[in-house]
Amino acid sequence: MTTPTLSAQGLVKRYGRVTAIDGADFELFPGEVLAVVGDNGAGKSSLIKALSGAVIPDAGEIKVDGQVVHFKSPLDARHYGIETVYQDLAVAPALDIASNMFLGREKRRTDLFGQLFRKLDTATMRADAQRILDELGINIKSITQPVETLSGGQRQGVAVARAAAFGTKAVIMDEPTAALGVAESGKVLDLINRIRERGLPVVLISHNMPHVFDIADRIHVHRLGKRVAVVSPKTHTMNQVVGLLTGALKIGENGEVEEVASAVHTGL
């Protein structure tokens, strides 16, 4: 069997009496788009934060390429090649596109003047940023534009391009089309396809079922703090996935989707 690029077994995270992650499992395989879906409060955000280093689980283990890792911060996850595009994008609006793409990873000039005065290699960063945008098919008028002058879809494109540029193992995207219109959402889905074509697996957290069924290879269904099913959009319907995440349906012993027997009984 193929070794998962990123996986987790038995993750637990508690906040006082609240259990946000309750023995959750997870597998992301090379070259796939894995959608993670779940109702509000299902614990999927906490799971993703654990996988991206933003939350330290109380129990369980996380593996990268089959090797156990211990993330203490998002920087640790980035060190292992896991990049996350958050819903708020985490961009600096007043800075230009290249500065945003290399934020925290700026390149410095290697000549004597650059070494003495710690000068940034702006020309190289702009050239590299333009190359990455071109490879992903992101059309922006000028690489020197401040991000605040871009549309919502273009800002999302910059954040995704930054993740694709530095992610070597996986890219995690949290609701990347949530605030976008139809046309801009389509462009973001195209970006996800392009990243997959480059061989980089993508985790897509989304409430938009049509987008999930349009782009995902597999769907991880999360409920009550744990994974309850992994299904394929080729073999399961949208209604079945909604039933699984609400608890109206379950995966039976034979692997088929079954109705959950009602726990409500009437009597005299």
Task: For the chain, give every domain's residue range.
Answer: 6-94+169-259
Give 192's contacts (C-beta < 8 A, 6+ positions apart).
33, 160, 173, 176, 202, 204, 215
* Per-residue confidence in pLDDT tens, the chain, 268 aa: 689 999 999 999 999 999 999 999 999 999 999 999 999 889 998 999 999 999 999 999 999 999 999 999 999 999 999 999 987 777 888 999 999 999 888 888 887 766 777 788 899 999 999 999 998 888 888 999 999 999 888 888 899 899 988 999 999 999 888 878 888 889 889 999 999 998 999 999 999 999 999 999 999 999 999 999 999 999 999 999 999 999 999 998 888 888 887 644 444 3
Give me 237's structure tokens: 């319907």
Question: pTM for the complete prediction?
Answer: 0.89
| Buried b or exposed e, range 6-23, using 16+ CB within 10 angstroms | bbbeebbbeeeeebbbbe
C-alpha distances out from residue 84 to 64, 209, 220, Å:
15, 21, 18
- The domain covering 6-94+169-259 belongs, at the CATH homologous superfamily level, to P-loop containing nucleotide triphosphate hydrolases (3.40.50.300)
Q: Are 251 and 244 in contact (CB under 8 A)?
A: yes
DSSP 2: P
For residue 116, what is the enclosing H or E element? helix 112-117
- pLDDT number for residue 267: 43
Q: Are 5 and 170 in contact (CB under 8 A)?
A: yes
Cα distance between residue 176 and residue 197, in whole Å: 18
